[in-house]
Structures are given as C-alpha cells and as structure tokens.
Amino acid sequence: MVTVIIIIAVVFIVLAVLSIDIVPQATTHIIERFGTYKATFDTGFHMKVPFIDKVAKRISLKEKVADFAPQAVITKDNVTMQIDTIVFYQVLDPKLYTYGIERPILAIENLSATTLRNIIGELELDQTLTSRDIINTKMREILDDETDRWGIKVNRVELKNIIPPKEIQMAMEKQMKAEREKREAILIAEGKKEAAIREAEGEKMSAILRAEARKEAAIREAEGQAEAILKINEAKAQGLQMIKDVQADDGLVKIRSLEAMEKIANGQATKIIIPSELQGVAGLATSVKEIIKS
C-alpha cells in the first residue's frame, strides 16, 4: 500500500513539473495541442496539460541581425558589382512568425536580394556609390512592408560593402589621385596669391605710415614756427604796451631810438645818417657825456 502511494506521489510530482512552463524575459513560447495552435505564452509562469500541450517553438523577441552574403547586381549603366547587406529585424507577432512562412530568415535574405537588384538597376554607378542612405531607406521600407504578414518588423537595412569590378576600382583610384593633385595645386596657387596680396598690403600700409609720419612732422614744424612768430609778436606788443604804460615823452623815445641806431651800427659803420628830428637829441647826448667825463 505504501509503495502505491509513493508511486502515485511520484507520478503526481512528475505531472506537476511537466505542466509548469516558465517563459524567460524577452521570449515567448508557442503552445500546440494535438498539433494545433493553442496559445502564446508570454514572459512569466504558465500551466499546460502534460502530454497534450507542448511547446512548439521558443521565439526570442530581441532585435536580431542578419548578415547576408554579397549579391551580384547590375547598375543602369551595365556595371556589375557585389553588394552585401545587413538587416536588423525583430519578431512582433510570434504566431505569424511561426506559421506565416517557412524559414523566414531565408525569405528575408531572398527578398532583400531581389529588392536590392531592383533599386540598383535604376541607378548608375556614381549614384550607387553616393546614395547609400537613399538605398538603405528604400530597402527598409520595402522589406518592412513585405514582412508584416510574417510577424517581422524590419528596423534598419545597411549596405555593408559595395565592391565594383577591379578595372572600375583602378579608374576610380586614378581619378581620386588626379583630384587630390588638382586640389593640391589649387591650394598652392591660392597660398601664393594670398602671400602676394598680404605682401602688397604690407607695402601699402608702410607707404601710408611713412607719408603720415612726414605729414605729421611738417605739421609739427609749421606749428612750431607759427608759435615762435606768435611769441615774438606778443613780446613786441608787450614792449609797446609797457612804453605806453610808463607814458614816455618824446625825448626818451628819441634817446632810445638813437641807442638802437648805435647798436645797429655796432661800431663797424663808417657813416651813420641820423634823421633831422634826432640831430638835436644827438647833440644833447654828446654834451651830457662830455660833462660826465669832466
């Protein structure tokens, strides 16, 4: 009796364990009952009927990356090149992802290859090499629209490599080398031109500064001469004003005039002509000098 109880307990424990389904984070389980879709278990603790319900598929809801092999494509100007793409996608509907299409990743790869051929076929080589963003956007829009019925969301598409034929690569390298040499020559010419302009501007500024210096010197010299003349005239005016202030008579004025004439002669003149109005004064002055000497 005890053995039967133990067996029943073990069976019960086994059935309880088999009926428990714990779904990890960012994961979902597709449950089938007798081969038919029954439910979708999201993250957490779930119960199912042992031996009747089973986990048909475990699907990760994280964003995934699919790196596809290079595809041969032909441009509008008949240039064959190799392009490989990277697709970033995410499962949004686990049921559609499980039952919508067989081997969904292979389907995305083939769809991206045909889409890429259609887009590149409308572009020339130069446009293909310079229009990566446009190609990426078009491919993402088309793939995202087509994969909706598979429960897949295409978040991003990138062209990983664009490999043109070797002869095209050699021609492109020569063109790039010529462009670099051209830019170098232009930069050298512009540098020389800038140096010549700077040198001419320096000479111009130097000449202007020299002319301004000469002008300033001439102005200062003229101002000095004008100030000297002004000082002399002011001194004469002050002398005349002083004579007027002391109210000198005619005799004193005539004596001062005679002294001025003596200074003019400076003892070197052999003949001095004295105006008539000063002759009397001269005689008077001579008499005074003789009286003083006696």
129-177 per-position pLDDT tens digit? 888 899 999 999 999 999 999 999 999 999 988 888 888 778 777 878 8
- Report the Cα 36 to chain-centroid distance in Å: 63
CATH code for the structural domain at 64-164: 3.30.479.30
Report the alpha-carbon distance of residue 87 to residue 64 in Å, rounded: 8
Contacts of 61 (CB under 8 A, 6+ apart): 26, 27, 28, 90, 91, 94
CA 202 to chain CA mean position, Å: 30
Strands 44-47 and 36-41: unpaired
State how far the Cα of 43 lies from the Cα of 139, in Å rounded to an integer.
Answer: 32
User: What's the number of CA atoms in the CB half-sphere (13 Å) around residue 191?
Assistant: 6
| Among the ranges given (8-12, 46-50, 154-158, 244-248), the one the predictor scored with the smallest mean pLDDT | 244-248
Sequence-ordered strand ranges (E) for the chain: 20-23, 27-33, 36-41, 44-47, 53-60, 64-67, 71-74, 80-91, 152-163
pLDDT for the residue numbered 93: 92
pLDDT given for residue 221 in this prediction: 85
55 neighbors 27 (Cβ within 8 angstroms):
no
pLDDT(287) > 60: no
Residue 37 has pLDDT above 50, yes or no: yes
Instruction: Provide the 8-state DSSP code for 195.
Output: H
Distance CA 162, CA 127 (A): 12
The reported pLDDT for the residue numbered 266 is 56
Distance (Å, whole) CA 252 – CA 284: 12
Average pLDDT over residues 64-80: 89
**283 — phi, psi (to 5°)?**
-65, -40
Mean pLDDT for all residues in the chain: 81
Write down the residue that tokens 């984070």 correspond to. 25
At residue 250, the pLDDT reads 56
The label of the residue with tokens 């005016």 reads 237
User: Taking residues 97-121, what's their average pLDDT?
Assistant: 90
Comparing C-alpha atoms, which of 117, 139, 126 is closest to residue 77?
126
How far is residue 209's CA from residue 217's CA, in Å, rounded to a whole number?
A: 12
Nearest CA among 51, 157, 52, 59 for reference residue 99: 59
Q: pLDDT for 77-90, tens place per residue?
A: 888 889 989 999 99
Pairing between β-strand 53-60 and β-strand 36-41 as defined by DSSP bridges: unpaired
CA distances from 135 to 19, 158, 239, 248 (A): 50, 9, 104, 116
Evaluate if residue 65 carries a pLDDT over 70. yes
Q: Residue 106 in contact with residue 147, Cβ under 8 Å?
A: no
Distance CA 122, CA 75 (A): 7
pLDDT digits (tens, 9 = 90+) for 226-274: 888 888 878 777 766 776 666 555 555 555 555 555 555 555 555 555 5
User: Of 20-29, 126-135, 176-185, 278-287, where does mean pLDDT reach its minimum?
Assistant: 278-287
